[in-house]
Amino acid sequence: MTGESLAVSKKIGDPAYSGSIAKKGEMTAVVTATGAHTFFGRTAGLVQSAGAKSHFAQANNRIGDFLIILAVLLAVIMVSLQLHRGEDFFKITEFALLLLVAAIPVAMPAVLSMTMAMGAKALAAEKAIVSRLESIEELAGIDILFSDKTGTLTQNKLTLGEPVVWGTAAPQDVILAGALASKAEDKDPIDLTVIGALKDPGALKAYQQIAYVPFDPVSKRTEATVKDAAGNQFKVTKGMPPVIFALAQLAGDDLAKAQSVVNDYAAQGYRTLAAARSDASGAWKLLGILPMHDPPRPDSKETIARAEAYGVKVKMVTGDDVMIGRNIAATLGMGSHIVAASDIFEGDVSQGDIPLDLARRVEAAQGFGRVFPEHKWAIVKAAQTLGHIVGMTGDGVNDAPALKQADVGTAVSGATEAARAAAGLILTAPGLSVIIKGIEEARRTFERMMGYAYYRIAMTISIMLFIVLVMMLYKVPVLTPIMIILLALLDDVPVMLIAFDNATVSPRPAKWDMHRVLVISCILALLCVVQSSGLLSHLYHLHTLTNSMLQTAMFMQLVIAGHLLLFSTRSRGLFWQPPYPEWRFFWAIMGTQLLAALMAANGWLVTPISWHVIGLIWIYNLIWLVFLDLFKYGLYHMFDLRETKKMHWQAMLHEPLDSFRGLHSK
């Protein structure tokens, strides 16, 4: 297995890689490496060792740990306080344990997994199959996408450009000579491209191919002996330009001119072939040069621009030469700073961490050429070292280590089974546009997950803190054990349906900013405590409700306040602005509200209260919803300003000092 795009010649002292195929010739070799020490073995080993820990798992664990520690701490404070007051130990312990069970977010992994599962279903409709649910959350956050060139950015279909004729030859004469020096039944892509460029495919019927010598790495050309309709016999050949130039005995200005043509086409990303024909004396005469090109996909440039608009930097990774990659990248608007992977990575890069200086060079490059399988893995690892969330596309066995190491390894359409097994996302349609659609849907899914995270943290903290606060001030439980169970059950219905909710597409890569999540959630929780305490204080001092009726009223308060908070946390904007709640999600919230109201009014499992009190609680919470939402919107705006300033300063730190010389020009 080799990264070379054509067969290569080997001489004494050169290494021959394990798994390679000898196309011609024989040799006596000394084995210098076996098993895991070969290129083939190291690639297989990388598949086993590669992999990055899911950001979803990290965030889920951190949120869970935070809430569990806080819940246990508040439970200990409540139990200690009640024991100090002489309450029955078993009674207060039973209440505390029940409160802990209700407060700890045991449903959080299930809700987030269900949300991602619905996102996976939506992605499948966009021709992207998710093999790992966590890939959806990672896809929403990628900021660098390393893309294979052939077949992903380009059409993987060679196209013959306008031939450069030599002497008195016509363009079709050059193509005809190249076609006669080809063999269609060999199914060689280059041969088929040259034959397909004939304006009149029937022209070949006038000739008979008597002998044919296929391409080999020694001669670097094909040759055919041909007889025309008149019985005249001659030879034609096509191959690498330097070889054909030497065969035609070009020298001086003619050789310089021919080499200049080849170099100009190479700078434009073209691979060139030269074609020649023998004359009556058997001497070879150059007919012209055939430029061949794998054109970009029609949608590639637009897709890359869309990716850039979403904050995703697309970088090319190809086994082709740097100059070809540079031309394609510049054409697609990806930049022209394409470097050879071997210039960055030297020796065995399959073990250990990537040094910071190499990681910085990978980050600065806009693409990579002459890439080996180990290089792909190292490129991904280097970007991850600097904190980037990385996507990687590939289709072959040699891409498997990098696909598994990447946060979002993507097997493109037509990929091998090995690549599909290592990838987290499998595309069933060609091109990058499928990935961009996937990013959009993944970011919607992430917004739903974030909305639930804000809600879950805020509600857990507010309920626990409110109950402990009431126990400290009023010396009686604000809720009965059955109310705590009912509160948890009623809460589970709408949060499970948040997976269906409408959501916006963030213009920037989505990330779990735990500082932002915890700060905003805790502030909202404290405001909810103030909200519930205000209502309790008002109802308590009216002296119109008994203690059990107060408990029912506060049960209604926590149900209404909690579910209305979902309307606020579900999006970054104000709750009365688009995107509006999806109908299933909306009616799930309203349905549980109605059920709770019927329970409170009819005394089902709770002490009944009047519809008048229920109506007052509703009005009170609607007013608070507007206040909480405005406060939340302000918090988001404050964090966004801080993030913008942070990004501005980071950009300045990475700016070359030469950029600031203009400040002194005046």
Q: Hey, which residues are catalytic here?
A: 148
Amino acid at residue number 560: I
CB 145 within 8 A of CB 312: yes
Residue 535 has which token pair? 């209502």
Q: How far apart are CA 265 and CA 292, in angstroms?
A: 9
Residue in this structure with the two tokens 């011609």, named with its chain if needed: 24
DSSP letter at 249 equals T
Token reading at 427: 């595309």
Q: Are 150 and 325 in contact (CB under 8 A)?
A: no
518 exposed, middle or buried (CB, 10 Å; 0-12, 13-18, 19+)?
Answer: middle
- Positions of E strands within 300-424: 313-317, 338-340, 367-369, 390-394, 408-411
Beta strands in 390-494 (DSSP E): 390-394, 408-411, 425-427
Residue 341's nearest CA partner among 482, 504, 179, 146 is 146
Nearest to 569, CA basis, from 559, 558, 581: 581
**Alpha carbons 575 and 602: distance in angstroms, whole number:** 32
The two tokens of residue 613 are: 């009190």
Enumerate residues 6+ apart whose C-beta is below 8 A from 113: 133
Token pair 């029955």: residue: 88
Q: How far apart are CA 148 and CA 325, in angstroms?
A: 10
Distance CA 189, CA 197 (A): 12
**DSSP H helical segments within 399-513, as ranges?**
400-405, 417-422, 433-474, 481-496
In whole angstroms, what is the distance from residue 212 CA to residue 131 CA? Answer: 48
How large is the C-alpha radius of gyration of the chain? 35
Question: In whole angstroms, what separates CA 151 from the centre of its chain?
Answer: 18
Phi-psi region for residue 410, left (φ > 0), alpha (ψ -120 to 50) or beta?
beta
* Sign of the C-alpha dihedral computed for residues 362, 366, 370 and 372 taken in this order: positive
**Looking at this protein, which amino acid is placed at residue 467?**
I
